[in-house]
Amino acid sequence: MEADKKFEDRFNESRPKNAPSGVSPYIVFGWLATLLSLLFVPILFGAIGVVLGYVVKKKEQKDVHGFIIMVASIGCTILGMIIGYAYGLTSL
């Protein structure tokens, strides 16, 4: 039991107090907006995805990830508009 306690103490000491928890909420919401732009209001969610991708690129200093979110958001917005147009034509 005491060996486990010592291991936990050493583990907690080696980890910085304000270590990042991993994934930024900007990344999560950026990808969520990108996926939502395929089916629901592509212009709105696509714009939100681009803005969040820009925030990730500038604020989080994750240049590649932010750029990928921006490009994917633009692509999904265009694809979402095409899907909406095709669905609108079939419902006439």
**Which residue type does 5 have?**
K
Q: Can you give the pTM of this predicted structure? A: 0.71
Residue 14's alpha-carbon distances to 3, 8, 10, 76, in angstroms, are 17, 10, 6, 42
pLDDT value for 19: 47
> pLDDT > 70: what percent of the chain?
76
Residue 14 has pLDDT above 80, yes or no: no
Which residues have CB under 8 Å from 24's CB, separation 6+?
56, 60, 62
